[in-house]
Structure 1
Amino acid sequence: MKPEFSIIIPLYNRGDTIKRAILSVVNQYITDIEIIIIDGGSTDQGPDIVSSIHDSRIILKQQTGNGVANARNEGVFIAQSEMIAFLDSDDEWMPEYLTNIRVLKNRYPGAGIFATRYAIQTKSGIFTKSKCPTFPKSQREGIIPGYFLAAAISEPLATSAVALPKHIFYEGGGFPEGINYGEDMFLWGKIALKYEIAYSTYIGALYHIDADNRLTYLPSHYYDIYPLVSYLQNVLYHNQVPDDEKENILEYIASKEINRSYYYYIAGDFSEAKNISKKIKTKKLRLKLLKLKIALHTPLLVFVILKKILPSYEDLLK
């Protein structure tokens, strides 16, 4: 018999958190599962910790490729279940996470993605809940209206709080390998062009991050056009998007380009930051664009000081 869910966990030097992640899966109310852990050549005690957990549902495999996208793809390839769920090795699930996914799957069988709300916790203990701005506040579950608009304003989906059918995963092409970042959002975006996304407001996953403020450190790939943006620009050009999502997709592109302009500003390349900002067109994110343009005419040091001493500085512009 095939399990009801296959859970894919990429592992690389996460000996300090992998047990927490696994136990959060083992303690799910739904027990008909398999837990596939793809180790990418860890040099710490992570694989030994996995082996020390005696549960016949756990499968530990060595990765043959490179990168987290490849690890997830390899896990899906060997998965027995038609329903695939993902969990990062430093995150964890709440006990009823898979139960909520099952409910969504049964009530919204035509959806391409099933997801729950999640929470973010920093090392210092700061705890915030994710938002899905377009989802009706009166509902506990349903289809996300205007997914791309929701994604332009917030981050409604996190990989550790997403599940989907295996055939939909392959229809979307799996996680793209060879791009620097955003491979998960790339896949969700491709699927959202064709399928609805079923969503529950139950907080099913806890997403751990190492730093409270990453303003002073930005990896070089942050200055590249966001991978999903390039894809969406191409499908828009070829008129391959649903008519009712075109405006929302344009807002999503605007949001990511506003962020990219900020990254250049923070790096001190004011000229490129301004060049990007001039090309941004938006109807629903005009205040966000206004904040950017004000920042671009403010010396970076002054901007950083204002953010520290006036926490409500940006709120004044709302």
Structure 2
Amino acid sequence: MTIQFTLPVILDGGMGRELQRIGAPFQQPQWSAQALIEAPHYISQVHRNFIKAGAEIITTNTYALVPFHLGQQGFNEQGTELIKLAARLARECANDNSGVLVAGCLPPVLGSYRPDLFSVEHAKPLLEIQIKNQQDDVDIWLAETISSISEAVMIKDRTRITDKPTWIAFTVKDEISSESMLRSGELVYDAVSHIAGQHVSAILFNCSCVERMEGALIAAKQALLDLGMTDTVQLGVYANNFPPIGDQHQANINNGISRIRDDISQDKYTEFAACWLNAGASIVGGCCGVSPQHINKLAKLKNP
């Protein structure tokens, strides 16, 4: 499938905090899954809010539909049907708005920001459930907040047998360092070199601080140049609006909801996005704490 948009392509923003803002059920450890379970109409409302703001691609609300957030029993009892529901709600909203595509979120199934928790043996069955129950309703796969090369390789290998392009979004360390690194400590350059190409048609960076994204893009662009893939693989960014996240962050604990930064206004986020575009990105959007108002500002960056 060829995606034809005027550039840059505009993604949506953070589902969880927008649910919280509009009064939907929202707490840890369920995160954005709680509204899907108790009041799914709020999920559709968030999708519509982002589309109205200018998002051209909306992402299924499947990020928290894993045992890490639902618990093993909750996932066993409800996971499959909730994944199907999340995909269907996104598809319905896209169908109501011409030109909008649906990205099927493939989350870090064993936990966010924690490459130390990852194993192919335990992750692969959960990934299979995500893919099987979304594939009829999505246009592309968007693997989000991927912390290691091994996790990205697993996803690439599995999505290869579908008929949909795959976008891999890596999360990078928020700490300042001389070279941009994934949360696993592996270099961004190496990650892109391993993953780009074939059906992986875009490499993105998400759920890290805005200040760390330009360095990740520079390393990724160099990798694509060395691979000869700058014309076939897109780059993108959708940062979070959180303070720095450390190596042992627990993203599913009660009262563990990160605060929104007060120094990244809508205008400031758009200034960062303009820098990302200058550094080689052609896809921009927002992750946690990035609202429809932010996306509306980003949409004004589009070429006429």
Hey, which of these two has a bigger chunk of strand by percent? 1
Greater C-alpha radius of gyration: 1
| Larger RCO of the pair (alpha carbons < 8 Å, separation 6+) | 2
- Judge same fold: TM > 0.5, yes or no: no
What TM bracket, shorter-length normalisation? under 0.3
